[in-house]
Amino acid sequence: MTFPQDTWSETVRSGACRRPVLCVLLWIATAASLQATPSNRAALEKHYDRFLTKGLNQCATCHLPGAPKNPESLEEIPHNPFGDRLMLLGKELEAAGKAKDLVARLVIIAAEDADGDGVGNEAELLAGSGPGDAKDAPLPDQLVQAPERRAEFDQFLAAYCWQPFERVRRPAVPVVSRPEWIRNPIDAFVSAEHDTRGLKPRPDAPKAVLLRRVYLDLIGLSPTPEEQRAFAADAAPDAYEKVVDRLLQDPRYGERWGRHWMDVWRYSDWAGWTDGNQIRDSQRHIWRWRDWIVESLNADKGYDRMLLEMLAGDELKPEDPATQRATGFLARNYKMLSREQWLEDTVKHTSQAFMGVTVGCAKCHDHMFDPVSQAEYFQMRAIFEPHQVRIDHVPGELDTTKNGVARVYDVAENPPTYFLNRGDERKPDKERVMQPGVPKALAGVPLEIAPVPLSQDAAVPERREFVIRETLAASDQSVAKALDILVKEYTEPKATPESHRLRELELAKAEGQRVALHAVLRAEELEVRSQKDSEPWKQAAKKALAAQRASAVSAAQLALHRAEQAEEKSREKLTKEAQAALAKAETEAKAELTVAYKPRMAATYPATSTGRRRAFAQWLTQRTHPLTARVAANHLWLRHFGRGIVATPDDFGRSGARPSHPALLDWLAEELMANGWKMKPLHRLLVTSSAYRMSSTPDEANAALDLDNIYLWRMPSRRMEAELVRDNIFYVAGNLDLTMSGPEVDNAEGLTSPRRSLYLRLAAEKEVEFLRIFDGPSVTECYQRHPSVMPQQALALANSELALKQSRILAQRIAEHTADDAEAFVRQSFERVLARAATAEEFAECVAFLSGMDDKVQPVANRESDAARLRERLILVLINHNDFVTIR
């Protein structure tokens, strides 16, 4: 039994290409034999690819039996007539100063008949007989098949040569038979496939359908009735483009597309136990990275810059916490229980998200399909080996568990990356310390690593001006508070001498701590200015120690007082202990002063970073990198058109799917880079193309040729992503809270919080069930969504508090304007919920539904509430309508 390994190979030629460039994919397949294969033979194989039968892939195709064993080139004689001709032609071409590579020569002599057996050279090669051996001519039935084979070969030669591991070159825009359909170059590429396959593009979608499509696509929210009317009334030829431009400037664009990129970049809030006392995955405050994503997209920051900041924001802008938020991309991989897993996830997903290469497979062995060796895997790991996570203060909050910036930094000690035998962390090869590097087959240039000096603020973030100011202020506040309490105590009628004494001692303690803090900060300041061991420092340190000792005495006095007031049964014991502690503190206070004061708990970090991640990010975002732009453009296309040009967006390698429109993808990748990696121009190009504007209605003739619409003869219908379903229920009811940014909202509030879904907590075991049911993102891996149709979705939309409550609210809102006019109610309901007018039949059905109760005998007293209830139910039905969750 043979198995079809390449069912798509007729459409894309990614194996062997005619250009004299080493085609990486072929190279892998033949890597083992390449060394032993003379270059001419390799060129022959490459040119004819699968059309060359095995028997012709050998010396005897050109040489006679008397030639040396394994001839290295055509210089070695004797040849047969075919080899002779190739050799002589090479000399002629050289003399004429023309290209003389073997492929050029093969093309020139294709139609000639070297051995004079009446069948041309190429015809013989395609039929599997020797072109240089007159005795070896094709059999009659082989000649019968020749035209078909010839046509297949010609098609193969003409196919676009897609080389995902070679740098992007902008392909020529095809000339097509339907120029009136072409709105921009995207359409030319799509139309070229239509031409090839005899497909006819569907007409432009009706205005209402297009408007809802582009609203949901760009900002994730349905157009309001006012927006629908304005667009319907705008007869200008660029009415649609004006809408697109406005939506791209809408900050809700960043939220909509931010969520898309959060899928690819694996956004996850922290996960762990006991209310965050133990963080097991990701980090606290990772929402700041989400805000950075939304802000960056809205500002149209270049994709290259975004990657740089996510991978190395701390090295690029050591002074700027706003940029460091971006490194949440890395901090998110934190795994308390396993550094090994943490780094494994980092290498695997950095590679898949940005390069579409499953580098992670090479941890245990050389990659089986793509050009990544196991050693290169560990070189990539070495890039990330020194990085760790930390949480820095933000102004306004001294407790970093309550607020802060989760970010990465490189540790000072240079932890070695050992080659792990079979990828097993228990089996490091200590002889093989891996240096940072990247797979050679990708982009072809090495990393350029230079250490990054960091500022004082980055190294000792707790010395930053605002942290000290707020620390002092907090101390002042404690004193003020203690004083306040004491003053109140003096006017308190029930006060006792003991309670007065308690408050006095509390104040004394707070004062003591404040004095000590000032003294310590002074000493610290001198240390930071590298004046440690100087005379002023010695004095300051001693002063700090004295203040700390005095503060300790105050604290001990307070403790003793409290012990004396304790309950009787434990009083004696506690008092004794407290007396001893006070005695000790007093003794220490009298001891000779030294410089050994107790420093503040202020973390100190290295003053340089390795620069490895910065170098990697620069390597990744250079224009010659073959994959970065292709992968990004594919992700954009996938989310606009419902299917990637490469249908496996995380795998552009040999195990991935072949592209449907390879030339278009290359063109888009180049366009992205040419626009300074800005995404908004590309979005604009995509959504203003004729391809995007097509109707999604079916067509029998096209379906007969391309059932799955791979070649895009219509716009595919799609189901809303989970977040859109939820957001739009709130939104059409007029209740969506459009507040942007901020800490994640508790997932328990998923059905009640009116914030957009991207702000809801999402982590392992902390997700909103409603979103999960609609195929919401997995935090482990989500390179694309796979929308399903499940009965659970029907229950969620029909029975959930969310759907029921919002239906009720919307029904009341509409009824306020329409009073008892059922027809007006139906009209407005359709506009609000489905962003379109009701057809006559729909209208009739809904009006009948609203009047349903009239047919029944009901007590008059209930009439009002029955009508209201029916209206609510009608809205609920529309929210459950297929057209609500579907983007046509």
Helices 374-384 + 612-620 axis angle, to 10: 120
Q: Shortest gap between Cβ of 107 and another protein (angstroms)?
A: 30
- Closest to another protein by CB, 429 or 498: 429
Specify the pairing of strand 428-434 against strand 417-420: antiparallel
Q: Shortest gap between Cβ of 721 and another protein (angstroms)?
A: 14
Radius of gyration, CA atoms only, the chain: 36
Q: Shortest gap between Cβ of 805 and another protein (angstroms)?
A: 8
- Closest to another protein by CB, 342 or 619: 342
- Closest to another protein by CB, 484 or 801: 801
Around Cβ 839, how many Cβ atoms within 10 Å?
Answer: 10
Q: Shortest gap between Cβ of 589 and another protein (angstroms)?
A: 59
- Closest to another protein by CB, 30 or 400: 30
Angle at alpha carbon of residue 264, lines to 263 and 266, rounded to 5°: 65
Q: Shortest gap between Cβ of 872 and another protein (angstroms)?
A: 9
Nearest CA-CA partner of 652 in 676, 631, 636? 631
- Closest to another protein by CB, 525 or 883: 883
- Closest to another protein by CB, 478 or 784: 784
Nearest CA-CA partner of 633 in 625, 616, 18, 618? 625
| Cβ–Cβ under 8 Å, residues 406 and 331 | yes
- Closest to another protein by CB, 585 or 876: 876
Token output for 549: 């000792």
Token output for 180: 């009136």
- Closest to another protein by CB, 106 or 875: 875
- Closest to another protein by CB, 153 or 369: 369
Burial label for 855, CB within 10 Å (0-12, 13-18, 19+), is exposed
CB environment 576-587: b (16+ within 10 A), e (fewer): eebeebbeebee
Cα–Cα distance list, 421 to 83, 145, 366, 380, 800 (Å): 48, 52, 12, 16, 52
Could you give the 3-state DSSP secondary structure of residue 185?
helix
Q: Shortest gap between Cβ of 402 and another protein (angstroms)?
A: 33
User: Phi, psi at residue 608, to the nearest 5°?
Assistant: -135, 155
User: DSSP per residue over 246-258, as a string?
Assistant: HHHHSHHHHHHHH
Q: Shortest gap between Cβ of 704 and another protein (angstroms)?
A: 5
Q: Shortest gap between Cβ of 815 and another protein (angstroms)?
A: 18
Q: Shortest gap between Cβ of 193 and another protein (angstroms)?
A: 18
Q: Shortest gap between Cβ of 203 and another protein (angstroms)?
A: 13
Q: Shortest gap between Cβ of 769 and another protein (angstroms)?
A: 5
Total residues found in the chain within this entry = 888
Q: Shortest gap between Cβ of 841 and another protein (angstroms)?
A: 5
- Closest to another protein by CB, 538 or 881: 881
- Closest to another protein by CB, 236 or 337: 337
Burial label for 294, CB within 10 Å (0-12, 13-18, 19+), is buried
The span from the CA of 287 to the CA of 275, in Å, is 17
Q: What do you get for the CA distance between the two ends of the chain, in Å?
A: 43
- Closest to another protein by CB, 551 or 800: 800
Q: Cα torsion at 17, 19, 21, 23 (round to 10°)?
A: 0
Token output for 145: 């098949």
Nearest CA-CA partner of 162 in 560, 665, 543, 636? 665
The span from the CA of 770 to the CA of 885, in Å, is 14
Nearest CA-CA partner of 625 in 76, 165, 301, 117? 165
| Cβ–Cβ under 8 Å, residues 345 and 351 | no
Q: Cα torsion at 175, 177, 178, 179 (round to 10°)?
A: 40
Q: Shortest gap between Cβ of 877 and another protein (angstroms)?
A: 5
Q: Shortest gap between Cβ of 696 and another protein (angstroms)?
A: 8
Q: Is the dihedral of CA 398, 400, 403, 405 positive or negative?
A: positive
Q: Shortest gap between Cβ of 869 and another protein (angstroms)?
A: 8
- Closest to another protein by CB, 471 or 778: 778
Q: Shortest gap between Cβ of 344 and another protein (angstroms)?
A: 12
- Closest to another protein by CB, 424 or 492: 424
- Closest to another protein by CB, 144 or 848: 848
Q: Shortest gap between Cβ of 364 and another protein (angstroms)?
A: 8
* Partners of 392 in the β-ladder: 405
- Closest to another protein by CB, 364 or 596: 364
Burial label for 422, CB within 10 Å (0-12, 13-18, 19+), is exposed
The span from the CA of 460 to the CA of 184, in Å, is 53
Cα–Cα distance list, 68 to 39, 44, 63, 73, 458 (Å): 16, 20, 9, 11, 68
| Cβ–Cβ under 8 Å, residues 653 and 357 | yes
- Closest to another protein by CB, 202 or 325: 202
